[in-house]
Chain A
């Protein structure tokens, strides 16, 4: 069984090895798409990422809560049942910038990712798949963000 102690002991050493082997992502390799992350809607984000107009489909699944107890942490998962997925993305319609995360799918991972996003208010969220044939597919759902606590 993997323990936390192992994690601690290894992490420092591993960082050194990977850095010397040039395996860390570096600014030079940076593929961070600023235009996509600054887009204010799904269409602009997709344009910046070189994607076509999206089609809604049941083959992309988006998992998330109907109600978020707090918008600071909203669990979302995206997956695609079709072969030939190049990229999966998570987007939040009413956030200041729509695009939240992009996952590049390789043959070695399943097109199925989960993370947690921030939401400023109740909104539609999207899971978007870019396919190797150029098609762009998406699924959506509404997540209600509630106010909680004493609010003081």
Chain B
């Protein structure tokens, strides 16, 4: 498939209090971004179980975005700190088994950073287009 007409599929786990609100803010201020992302609302970035991420990749996601409150701003005080450790480590494991770590994007987006959210999604989408489709073996039959 030619790179230009490749449309990546991505799942975005957004924490309800910051990043999901940030995505709302992007909407309210009409800051458009590519339509490829499918947003799943979670209470906290710390709620994201790596199982959900591998599952997304196995199903065929080209990329997974996890976004939460900036460190120190977590609505649950510490949730994103745990998420940071868990995902930093998990990304290294993915890389080790041959899944491009750039396909798992972890970002901090606050409730007011609508612009930032649209930038994050835009650049992530572009990144995934650059990386191209994932190989069949990873996605499976």
A and B: interacting chains:
no
Interface residue ranges, B against A (CB under 8 Å): none
